[in-house]
Amino acid sequence: MAKSSYEYVRQFEADDTCLHNCWIVVRLDGRSFHRFVEQHNFTKPNDDRALQLMNKCAQTVMLELKDITIAYGQSDEYSFVFNKKTHWFKRRASKFMSHVVSQFAASYVFYWKDYFSDQPLLYPPGFDGRVILYPSNQNLMDYLKWRQADCHINNLYNTVFWALVHQGGLTKAQAQERLRGTLSSDKNEILFSEFNINYNNEPLMYRKGTILVWQKVNEIATKQINSEKEVKQTPSKVTSLHCDIIGQQFWKEHPEILDDS
On whether 5 is known to bind a ligand per the annotation, the reply is: no
Residue 151 Ramachandran class (φ > 0 left, ψ -120 to 50 alpha, else beta): alpha
Binding track over 30-69 against ligand DGT, x by CB under 6 A: xxxxx--x----x-xxxx--xx------------------
How many residues contact ligand DGT, by CB under 6 A?
Answer: 16
CB under 5 to 8 A by kind: which of ligand DGT, Mg ion, none does 150 bind? none
Q: Would the annotation count 15 as a binding residue?
A: no
Residues 6+ apart with CB under 8 A from 50: 37, 42, 115
Of residues 74-133, those binding Mg ion (CB under 5 A): 75-77
Shortest spacing between CB 205 and ligand DGT, in angstroms: 10
CA distance 52 to 39: 18
Contact 159, 197 (CB under 8 A): yes
Task: Please tell me the distance from the alpha carbon of residue 102 to that of residue 81, in angstroms, as a whole number.
Answer: 16
Q: How far is CA 165 from CA 2, 20, 186, in A?
A: 70, 50, 17
Q: How far is the CB of 26 from Mg ion (least distance, A)?
A: 15
Question: Any binding-site annotation on 34?
Answer: yes
Which CB sits closer to Mg ion, 18 or 77? 77
Q: Is residue 107 marked as binding?
A: no
Contacts for 52 with CB less than 8 Å, ≥ 6 apart: 115
Tell whether residue 99 is among the known ligand binding residues. no
Alpha carbon distance 69, 47 (integer Å): 27
Contacts (CB under 5 A) with Mg ion, residues 8-37? 29-30, 33
What's at 131, amino acid-wise?
V
Q: Which residue ranges are tagged as binding site for Mg(2+)?
A: 29-30, 76
Residues that bind ligand DGT (CB under 6 A): 29-34, 37, 42, 44-47, 50-51, 75-76
Residues that bind Mg ion (CB under 5 A): 29-30, 33, 75-77
Q: Which residue ranges are tagged as binding site?
A: 29-34, 75-76
